[in-house]
Structure 1
């Protein structure tokens, strides 16, 4: 709730022209969530998303005009900050900003297209451990993907223990013949805990898929290859994976990804794609 409302506040700050008064209908809920998270969870003392919420709230109260509801919540927010200020080691403000050309990547379209052509589903991997720091780097890139209201309703369950791998690689189906070759197995798990509207029921799949593509491209830049594996919508398999990963009732598997160092002697399917004219339509 705090993440969603922080995102809503941020969108209000971005509006052109910006309204003098906005968010009155949900600012009380937002301040309640912020104070509750900050005071109720000491481990959040340097949480990046909590700092983001605090900075956005600060900016909101600085620019919004006087309003009966907003004035009360501003006083509550400031009192909370005064009584138990949130401290962070990050000096920059986590608020809307103007993009600077100096911060842009130097990657050309040609190089990016080449990377996408390079990434193919690899099923034959070397018998070589995958360093966890490389997996973490790829995930750091993946979580920069867009997510509705920045909720990021997914997690990456990374399995690299040989005994766990033996079981995990058989759960999704479709891995017969190469399962033994997978060195690291990632189960992407969707989290429906923060959703209560029917309109949001597919967001875990959309947001996770956006992140997964970035993840696989990042792996390629690190010398690793991957194979995305469909998760079958079969109740028996859902129950088995849920027990295996000890998932909560609001969590469910979305897809799996096999990762490893590609075997240079292993063949890769050509898989020619449909032509642009067959897949693109304007207006």
Structure 2
């Protein structure tokens, strides 16, 4: 209906309606931002429910994600959010100084049960299963076996792999290790600063095609980014095609003027089914953004330029993107990234950055 109205109404009437709505919004803000109302969050919520639908899609996505988590008991199509979270919690316990003789009693049975379910499902990533198995084996060998832990070990030991160590022993163990064992890079601060200065938002690309193998390698590097409880609640939808990439990028709305020359578009999509509670609804944006930044830096080292494209929370573009990508109700786009080889004489904005003196606030 809004699209039809935009096409039929004259420009002066559309501007008049827009101005009226803006003034009404300003009036609401001036009234309901007063301390007497701000002290009562339920009033603010009621005002938004009456006059705005801006949070509707987020609420629906969060509810759909929570339901999917409960129905699937944290076990997804290729990965288990529950197993990943609890395995990471066990890792932190094993890394604690000093390590406690008994820990994780409140969730160890749940973890062992989930591991057995994932093994039986035969659809979870092999590396994920090996990591969980190694950490669980290390855990059971390190703690005192209380009644809960003994029961969890009984459940865990049901799997055939636990008794057959030849398979899991053929690869390096995926358990916590000392900091001194980290493989050190040869990048110093100046080199890294130079890489960050080199990475600019590029909007003008050459005709050279992007190699799929380079995208895959950059995604592998992006997966090394930190993630809350190592759940990694995101995926990268890749449109590496000269006709498809611009059609996807156009949904963002902020690509006017340069969208038709984008050779490859990546959509970073968050998965709210990784969480059983509303409190974690923003983690997809944090973790997805951390991975996206690492992805763009990785691309830069390969000679590929990129441009992060903002994805505002707007209903119509969300619906179009969800339909085009076949997203589930609990999957939400976080941002888009244009990728390609920069046109050598293409212009880029200077974009002055804030200095440490402006950004730092001492506590």
Tell me the CA shift for residue 88 of structure 1.
4.7
Greater C-alpha radius of gyration: 2
Q: Does 1:12 align with 2:61?
A: no
Residues 11 and 271 of structure 1: is their aligned pair in 2 closer, same or farther, counting only changes over 3 Å? Answer: same
Shift of 1:281: 2.0
CA distance in 1, matches of 2:252, 2:242: 17
- 1:21 to 1:81, Cα distance in 2 relative to 1, 3 A: farther
Equivalent in the alignment of 2:132: 53
CA displacement at 1:79 relative to structure 2? 2.8
Root mean square deviation of aligned Cα: 1.7
Aligned mates of 2:280, 2:359 — CA distance in 1: 27
Deviation at 1:165, TM superposition (A): 2.2
Paired with 1:153 and 1:249, the residues of 2 have a C-alpha distance of 15
**Kept after mapping to 2: 8 A contact 1:173/1:232:** no
- The structural deviation recorded for 1:267 is 1.0
Q: What are the ranges of 5 or more consecutive residues in structure 1 without an aligned counterpart? A: none
Aligned to 2:159: 80
Summarize deviations over 1:57-83 as a string: whole Å, max 9, x none.
Answer: 000000110201111211221232368
Distance 1:13 1:199, change over 3 A: same
- Secondary structure in 2 aligned to 1:137? helix
Q: 1:82 to 1:243 in 2, by over 3 A?
A: closer
- Partner Cα separation in structure 1 for residue 327 and residue 271 of structure 2: 10
Give the aligned length: 281
Name the residue aligned to 1:221.
301
Distance in 2, Cα, partners of 1:186 & 1:51:
29
Contact 1:142-1:214 at 8 Å conserved across structures: yes
Contact 1:153 1:207 in 2 (8 A): yes
Preserved contact between residue 6 and residue 56 of structure 1 (Cα < 8 Å): yes
Query: Unpaired segments of 5 or more residues in structure 2?
Result: 1-81
Match of 2:209 among 129, 132, 143: 129
TM-score, structure 1 as length reference:
0.95
Distance 1:110 1:192 in 2: 38
Distance 1:192 1:205 in 2: 10
Superposed structure 1 runs of 4+ greater than 3 Å apart: 81-90
Counterparts of 1:52-131 in structure 2, within 5 Å, are 52-81=131-160, 85=164, 87-88=167-168, 91-100=171-180, 103-131=183-211
Q: TM-score, normalised by structure 2?
A: 0.74
Tell me by how many angstroms 1:102 deviates. Answer: 6.9
Deviation string 1:193-233 (CA, Å, 9 cap, x unpaired) is 11122220100000011111111111110000000000021
| Aligned position for 2:352 | 272
Classify the secondary structure of the residue corresponding to 1:141: helix
Partner of residue 35 from structure 1, selected from 104, 108, 116:
116
3-state SS, counterpart of residue 349 of structure 2: coil
Aligned-pair distance for 1:108?
0.5
Worse-matched range after superposition: 164-173 or 107-116: 164-173
- Which shifted more, 32-41 or 98-107? 98-107
Q: Which moved more, 1:29-38 or 1:81-90?
A: 81-90
